[in-house]
Structure 1
């Protein structure tokens, strides 16, 4: 049961690019200029789209100066958007951005997630996100918008792949599962270093708001049974040692029940694998409702 992501597909502050930023057509192998209007919509948490490319249905391959044809791959829509990420904060941040590819009416046909690492304070960086293949039968995509942005300190960004962090371990959260208001998100830890890594007990958690400030009033309880039975997070804590290449699992469990009071949403969780470990900030987007509690499982060795 996969955690639903309707919030990722819901309309957000849209940058209506087809009319606001101009469209580059690839039917002649060169850009066809379109008048550009001023973009009135503000960036979404420091991320804005600067242009969008929507080729015609049957584009003519472009030719490079050396005579090589720059054909698109079979099935590639050729649709892409250029974006800019600007950090107006006082520390380096890593951004994860969800881009929605939509029709003229705003219906989302696909989305793509991009991680932009280590944008320094006061700095900007640019990039391009491509749609790739569009699902058969999908309506034409003409616009791209920033649907969601998360930002974590660059030195606390989760790392599922790539170079091993200086701590010698990777830690990240998965997309999670959901059913009937129950949420379960896995925490994964891999020893990617060259030395054994010892664990004993539960991850240490700090709940953070949109500004990465502490969220008070939520009880963090040990074990899944504190929230619901059958979550798989009730294994008693026990010492374990991960050899290089081995992994461990924990997890977060909560309900989004809303009764009397104000619902609480916690976008970020700072995780310490154990006391003294390097912090990693993950983005499980805890929709805690009015329950006021979050369960966390003990570290256990991952099944091979």
Structure 2
């Protein structure tokens, strides 16, 4: 049988280690600065919201940022415990925001939020759409990035990277929604390679009647104030901008039965030479003459080329 006296040093060491391990993590750090906010939480596994006082961007303002607090590391270093900058399980990074419409008609806003480190490195971004904000109205919401993976750089700021806004009556429909017209027109995120840009347009007959097409979508290019952009040639077909793209297929009559779709597209080059480069954030699209307009936001960086190609409506390839 072991002597009880010999156990005393071991028990004392265990008590000392437990006492050191129960000390709280370092003091919270945070505060609003620059284009976003920097924050850290208080207690273990918790989080704290830090108010943000930065000016709005096109009517969109971040009001507070919430980041997970530091959590104690279970790995001792001598008889001390350090704090890992990783969020507790189930926690995440979020920002509260508000959208105020200072215009005279209802608008739908699409907002790109950047989640960055304190040095400005973008670790993630999210796009939020806020629909039908009336004149003078303010709408509030929260955007959540979620918990970063192990080893990720610590996010310390959230900023409004870009805001686009279109008349609510001309906004592309929400996913799964069918407009009164029975025709759903949307644009994809586009593709870019070697200076060639292509954005796809998709038309879906979500109604109950057949829908006839015979030609090209009709386009109106708009600046950031939704005023017409002049001096850009809209070419039917590729116009020599790119080859092997399918843009030179001739227009053919189409009848879309309920549930069927057609596709078109926009193509341009971002080439800059002499003159002033032109950027077109908005394109007002009509599926055909007499159809209601839908304003999409492809952000055409046309450079100094002065040309935009449009593809005829065609059935999507299988």
TM norm structure 1:
0.84
Which range moves more in the overlay, 152-161 or 181-190?
152-161
Query: What is the match of residue 149 of structure 1?
Result: 163
Q: Is contact 2:110–2:127 with CA below 8 Å preserved after alignment?
A: yes
Which of structure 1's runs of 4+ aligned residues deviate more than 3 A? 26-34, 73-77
Shift of residue 26 of structure 1? 6.6
Query: What is the match of residue 276 of structure 1?
Result: 290
Query: What is the match of residue 183 of structure 1?
Result: 197
Which range moves more in the overlay, 227-236 or 192-201?
227-236
Q: Is contact 1:263–1:289 with CA below 8 Å preserved after alignment?
A: yes
CA distance in 1, matches of 2:49, 2:165: 34
TM norm structure 2:
0.80
Shift of residue 135 of structure 1? 4.3
Shift of residue 30 of structure 1? 6.8
Secondary structure of 2:68 counterpart: coil
Q: Is contact 2:92–2:148 with CA below 8 Å preserved after alignment?
A: no
Q: Is contact 1:27–1:55 with CA below 8 Å preserved after alignment?
A: no
Query: What is the match of residue 296 of structure 1?
Result: 310
The equivalent position to 2:250 in structure 1, one of 236, 261, 266, is: 236
Shift of residue 271 of structure 1? 0.1
Which range moves more in the overlay, 42-51 or 126-135?
126-135
RMSD between aligned residues? 2.2
CA distance in 2, matches of 1:163, 1:180: 36
Secondary structure of 1:111 counterpart: strand
Gaps of 5+ in 2: 1-32, 73-86
Q: Is contact 2:49–2:67 with CA below 8 Å preserved after alignment?
A: no
Q: Does 1:44 align with 2:57?
A: yes
Q: Does 1:100 align with 2:114?
A: yes
Q: Is contact 1:110–1:134 with CA below 8 Å preserved after alignment?
A: no
CA distance in 1, matches of 2:258, 2:70: 50
Shift of residue 57 of structure 1? 3.9
Shift of residue 16 of structure 1? 2.5
CA distance in 2, matches of 1:292, 1:208: 14
The equivalent position to 2:173 in structure 1, one of 155, 159, 164, is: 159
The equivalent position to 1:248 in structure 2, one of 242, 245, 262, is: 262
Secondary structure of 2:57 counterpart: coil
CA distance in 2, matches of 1:82, 1:24: 15
Larger relative strand fraction: 2
Secondary structure of 2:201 counterpart: strand
Query: What is the match of residue 266 of structure 1?
Result: 280
Task: State the aligned residue count.
Answer: 272
Larger radius of gyration: 2
Shift of residue 160 of structure 1? 5.6
The equivalent position to 1:17 in structure 2, one of 37, 41, 65, is: 37
Gaps of 5+ in 1: 1-12, 60-72
CA distance in 2, matches of 1:272, 1:287: 21
Residues 89 and 246 (structure 1), Cα distance of their counterparts in 2 relative to 1, 3 Å cut: same
Superposed CA offset, 1:253-282 (max 9, x none)? 001111110000000000000011110000
CA distance in 2, matches of 1:32, 1:201: 56
Query: What is the match of residue 17 of structure 2?
Result: none
Which range moves more in the overlay, 217-226 or 271-280?
217-226
Q: Does 1:27 align with 2:40?
A: no
